[in-house]
Structure 1
Amino acid sequence: MIKILVPVTFTDHSINALTYALTLAGKFPSTVTLLHSFSEYEDIEEGMNAMPPNSEEDIQKREQDARDRLADLCQSAINKMTSLQDKNIELENRFEFGYAEEVILKVSKDMDPDVIIMGTKSKGETIKELLGSVTSDVMRRASVPVLAVPATSTVDLEKLSRVLFITDFGDADYISVHKLIRLITPFQTRINAVRFQAHQPDNTEIRRMEKFRDYCDATYRNHKIKSNFEQSEQFMDSLEKYVTENNIDLIAMTRRKRNMIARLFTPEITRRILFYTDVPLLVFHA
């Protein structure tokens, strides 16, 4: 049984993520939980408020509207599953009070899902939007895998044929690749495990890659996993070129903890990938 948590905000990119989640869930016996967080201090959508902002009556109206929209979205998902005669999915919804990021993390801790699937805006959103996005913050703080689905991502999991696993062939990646394979087992997927770096690999790095390759060959015999290096001084340019040339359908990687100084002065790789690509990004945590 696969458990999937899908935070929803009723935006187009949120609905796209839900569609992606239902398509993935249909490949397993699974439970999909739709989660909406409501805060009385959130900005009020245009055209919804006839009363002064944050008055008690206004808050009650917005809360009821959100509950109704969540129920409608859940029913729409049920109708879609019925039309597909999909009986593998159990669907439920949760309505929680609080700020989105904190609610998602709390519910995730309670239910321990196999993956959180969230929508993001498209490639090219502003740095301000990116740094302040709930998806980016959840990726940074969650303890379970998080899959970010861009608004323009084509939802066609029948053709999930190539996955790029960004790696340094370290110990944490053995755990991540195990979780990755668990999620993609129903698909005929090839995994390209690649370390991007600016220099030629030395003997130590080559031996570490060979150890990872041999482990995958012995452990996951029914899966095609290729391990190699990509040399480039410009990581994002190299990544974008690799994704395009190899028709990558999904990018996966392990997020490692960084100290405060590094977080202040160096944009972390997950946020850079969210900003520069329209390919879904699956992040595991070391």
Structure 2
Amino acid sequence: MASTQSNNNDPNRLITLAIHTYDRAVILKFQLEQAGITAVLHNVNLSEPVVSAGVRVRIREKDLPKALAVVESEQAPNKAALKNDRKVLIPVDFSDYSIKSCIVGFEYARRYHGSVVLLHAYMNAERKFTLPFGSDRYERSGDDDNTLRTKALLAMKNLRSKLEKMIVDGKLANVTFETAVREGVPEHCVLSCAEEVKACLIVMGTAGASQKERAALGSVTAEVLDACKFPIMAIPKDAETSRLANVKNVAFFSNLIPNDLLSFDLFSHLLSVNKMKVSIVHVEEKKSNQKYTREAKEQIMKYCTEHYTQCEFQMTEMKLSDDLDEFRKFTEEKKIDLIVIPNKKTNIFARLFNPSIAHRVLFSSDTPLLAVPIQ
């Protein structure tokens, strides 16, 4: 958030709510004004406004809470759906990762009175030779399509029986669950199924820090992370899932922009944040405006402490090295139970040359990660 006036205490000073193309900025301005919020556009190419890029939608600071509600109504998943019909989607591949994901996903569904959908996706022989660049799934089993489907259905039946026994033995939360087996590229199947069932959360297993040799581009979790508009919880193989039953300490990554507040608001509706200690982690950049950064941090902290009085907040500056050693030490010292990252859709080229924080943490940490989508 940026200011055009020197007085930080002036409630009428202008701050940037969002940066859009010209068309989207005009629509947002109209929506804000319909809600009684004064909005102005900056950085518009006056000679050719339609081709303007990076148009800033600015509002008065005192209108921020009301403006965020307007933006949230357009971008965030419906909160009523989160409260009344929570469906947890758990993609499974019948490995140990799957069982750990089920333990977490079923417990979440129990706590918030939801249900579970287990999904397994398999690829036929033809698809295995038409996968995108970077995939690690070029193997060929030699089975025909009918055999592959039969094997997948049998494996899912066996998993269902195993989970039902775990429920009887008290090792798994007793919630309603259904199963689905689909043919197709796994990440595509996960995304389409999430759309169909209107999932409030996707829970997926990952290799974690102990198996960093797994190619990031070939990971189904990473692929879903890049394209999904639903919250995703990634559970590393060696994660302590018991700590997720009562999350107390959270590391929330922030770019110090208004959209991060939308992400935190969605997070607060996914999990109970009562008495939660939240470390807002801002990653230091080599070239940054110190004054802007300082003011933005103050505004973020002010907003959070005023609107989430049940939480305890602190701001942490951090430089992320390639090996993330500093961040790992931080998570150990603060006893972080969950890492929350506002996550924006990226394409394969952006991921190759500028991997997101979510990607780097996903493959370098044994702490569960919750990626909350932002527009």
**TM-score, structure 2 length as denominator?**
0.66
Cα distance in structure 2, aligned partners of 1:56 and 1:3 = 30
Q: Which of residues 58, 80, 103 is equivalent to 1:19? A: 103
1:68-99 deviations in Å (ceiling 9; x for gaps): 2243244245435xx38966x33222222222
CA shift for structure 1 position 283: 0.6
After alignment, is 264-273 or 28-37 more displaced?
Answer: 264-273
CA shift for structure 1 position 188: 4.0
Secondary structure class of the residue paired with 2:199: coil
1:105 is aligned to 191
Q: Which of residues 201, 206, 210 is equivalent to 1:120? A: 206
Q: How does 1:145-156 map to 2 (within 5 A)?
A: 145-156=231-242
Cα distance in structure 2, aligned partners of 1:260 and 1:121 = 20
1:190-229 deviations in Å (ceiling 9; x for gaps): 1111102156871211211121112112222222233x13
After alignment, is 19-28 or 174-183 more displaced?
Answer: 19-28
Contact 2:337-2:368 at 8 Å conserved across structures = yes
2:256 is aligned to 169
1:47 is aligned to none
Q: Which one-letter code corresponds to 1:112 in the other structure?
A: K
Secondary structure class of the residue paired with 1:29: coil
Q: How many residues align?
A: 274
Q: How does 1:221-260 map to 2 (within 5 A)?
A: 221-226=309-314, 228-232=315-319, 234=321, 236-258=324-346
2:229 is aligned to 143
* Aligned-residue identity in percent: 24
Q: Which one-letter code corresponds to 1:53 in the other structure?
A: G
Secondary structure class of the residue paired with 1:276: coil
Q: Which one-letter code corresponds to 1:230 in the other structure?
A: E
1:262 is aligned to 350
1:49 is aligned to none
Cα distance in structure 1, aligned partners of 2:99 and 2:172 = 21
- Structure 1 residue 94 corresponds to structure 2 residue 184: no
Contact 2:89-2:116 at 8 Å conserved across structures = yes
Sort the Cα spacing of 1:13 and 1:188 in 2 relative to 1 into closer, same or farther, 3 A: farther
Contact 1:27-1:186 at 8 Å conserved across structures = no
Sort the Cα spacing of 1:231 and 1:102 in 2 relative to 1 into closer, same or farther, 3 A: closer
1:96-140 deviations in Å (ceiling 9; x for gaps): 222211110100111221110000113132445332110010011
Cα distance in structure 2, aligned partners of 1:38 and 1:63 = 7
Q: Which of residues 268, 276, 294 is equivalent to 1:181? A: 268
Secondary structure class of the residue paired with 1:255: strand
Which structure's relative contact order is higher, taking Cα pairs within 8 Å and 6+ residues apart? 1
CA shift for structure 1 position 261: 5.2
Larger Rg: 2
**TM-score, structure 1 length as denominator?**
0.85
Gaps of 5+ in 1: 44-51
Q: Which of residues 31, 37, 53 is equivalent to 2:142? A: 53
1:5 is aligned to 89
